[in-house]
């Protein structure tokens, strides 16, 4: 009797002739996620992935839950394809489940058994196996009652190359395996929105590399460390993230001194996009990703977004575009970035902010204002002094 995890995937089943490519990518991502756990192995068979030699470390399941491409998984007992072995495994798991629910347990604990026989050579069919296991459990455990419609616990049995018995089906991260849909550059601030946008684009299989704009001494080293911490959290889902820290102080100072103040936010965003595009070309990334949500602030009106897009030629993805702030905050809490994002360390977007920013900028006027500074020279200097960090969870 061995404790394992049974992993299921979803969208990959629809990939036709390309399915082996996605399956290999998912396998590799699972292996990478479990590298910290000595002795743990991953095996694929019959449309499932199996994580074996997991021991008693609950962090294994936390890591599995963060692998994009896995729709659900189950801690299971792996036993011989023998009715007695299956019955004993079911008893172990059901007793554990009852003990875990002891605080809310009623006098009678209800259950049902569901069996699935992928190995058609097994001598009992699914209904017969369920009856055998259910009858055994009723004889062995007091205060049990069968409820096929609304049980407190379902004991699942799958007969494959081995027999697997489990009581939990835990939701996974879903989506597609990271790396199967190209690479994109995430403009990562220290706020709430951009880490969530990075998580959402990675969920669709995109490899993420990040760009952060640091305005020392106006922003402290703590603000930079905050962004590094956000990358660490994201890397638990996305794998290792290359973070490009861009010195942005000189650009902001030049814009502040020479350009109309009501356009500062738009102009800064345009410079950020142009620098991110340079990084994207160096990293062979095909798109930029931002955390912008339509109408949330002055720089996120349709007119402002159009003015920002005009600065670059590659696609700009905005996964949060139709979400409101409450939805974004809820998702940030779920993925674990919220508490870090709200730490009170300013980023470059919170300095040199005009009191009355333009909300519906005219593109021609924005372009004219941009000519008041030596844009290409400023960008070249910033790019030449980028600090590159490789961040792991």
Torsional sign, CA 178, 181, 183, 189: negative
Tokens of 146: 């069968």
Per DSSP, the residues of 79-130 read: E-S-HHHHHHHHHHHHHHHHHHTGGG--SSEEEEEEEEES-TTSSS-HHHHH
Q: Does residue 388 sit in helix, strand or coil? A: strand
Q: Does residue 275 sit in helix, strand or coil? A: helix
Residue 187 annotated as part of some ligand binding site: yes
Contact between residue 252 and residue 268 where contact means Cβ atoms under 8 Å apart: yes
CA-CA distance, 368 to 33, in Å (whole number)? 49
Rg over alpha carbons for the chain, rounded to the nearest Å, is 26
Q: Which of 124, 139, 130 is nearest to 165 (CA)?
A: 130
Residue 269 annotated as part of some ligand binding site: yes
CA-CA distance, 248 to 355, in Å (whole number)? 21
Q: Which residues contact 72 (CB under 8 A, 6 or more apart)?
A: 7, 8, 169, 170, 171, 172
Q: Does residue 47 sit in helix, strand or coil? A: coil
Question: To the nearest 10°, the Cα dihedral for 315, 316, 318, 321?
Answer: -90
Residue 212 annotated as part of some ligand binding site: yes
Residue 168 annotated as part of some ligand binding site: no
DSSP percent split of the chain into helix, strand, coil, nearest 5: 45, 20, 35
Q: Which of 74, 96, 62 is nearest to 169 (CA)?
A: 74
Residue 236 annotated as part of some ligand binding site: no
Q: Which of 55, 372, 115, 346 is nearest to 227 (CA)?
A: 346
**HSE-CB for 298 with a 13 A CA cutoff:** 18
Residue 166 annotated as part of some ligand binding site: no
Residue 144 annotated as part of some ligand binding site: no
Annotated binding site: 187-188, 212-213, 269, 291, 300
Annotated binding site for ATP: 187-188, 212-213, 269, 291, 300
């Amino acid at each position: 009797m061995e404790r394992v995890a049974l992993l299921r995937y979803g969208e990959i089943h629809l990939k036709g002739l390309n399915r082996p490519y996605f399956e290999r990518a998912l396998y590799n991502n699972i292996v990478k996620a479990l590298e910290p756990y000595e002795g743990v192995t991953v095996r694929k068979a019959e449309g499932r992935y199996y994580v074996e030699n997991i021991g008693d470390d609950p962090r294994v399941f936390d890591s599995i839950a963060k692998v994009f491409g896995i729709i659900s998984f189950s801690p299971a007992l792996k036993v011989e394809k023998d009715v007695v072995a299956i019955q004993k495994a079911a008893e172990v798991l059901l007793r554990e489940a009852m003990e875990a629910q002891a605080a809310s347990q009623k006098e009678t604990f209800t259950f049902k058994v569901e069996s699935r026989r992928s190995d058609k050579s097994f001598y009992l069919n699914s209904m017969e196996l369920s009856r055998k296991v259910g009858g055994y459990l009723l004889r062995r455990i007091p205060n049990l009652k069968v409820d096929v419609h609304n049980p407190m616990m379902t004991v699942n049995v799958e007969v494959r190359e081995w027999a697997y018995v489990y009581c939990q089906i835990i939701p996974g991260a879903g989506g597609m395996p990271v790396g199967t849909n190209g690479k994109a550059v995430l403009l990562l601030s220290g706020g709430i929105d951009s880490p969530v946008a990075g998580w959402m684009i990675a969920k669709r299989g995109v490899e993420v590399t990040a760009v952060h704009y640091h305005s020392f001494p106006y922003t402290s080293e703590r603000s930079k460390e905050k962004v590094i911490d956000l990358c660490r959290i994201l890397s638990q889902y996305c794998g290792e993230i290359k973070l490009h820290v861009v010195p942005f102080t000189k650009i902001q100072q030049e814009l502040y001194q020479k350009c109309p103040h009501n356009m500062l936010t738009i102009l800064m965003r345009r410079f950020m996009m142009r620098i991110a595009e340079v990084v994207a070309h160096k990293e062979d990334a095909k798109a930029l990703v931002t955390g912008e949500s339509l109408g949330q602030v002055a720089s996120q009106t349709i007119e402002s977004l159009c003015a920002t897009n005009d600065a670059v030629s590659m696609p700009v993805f905005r996964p949060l575009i139709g979400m409101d702030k409450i939805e974004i905050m809820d998702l940030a809490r779920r993925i674990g970035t919220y508490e870090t994002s709200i730490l009170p360390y300013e980023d470059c977007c919170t300095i040199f902010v005009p009191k009355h920013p333009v909300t519906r900028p005219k593109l021609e006027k924005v372009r004219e204002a941009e000519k008041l500074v030596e844009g290409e020279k400023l960008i070249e200097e910033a790019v030449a002094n980028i600090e590159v960090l490789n961040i792991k969870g």
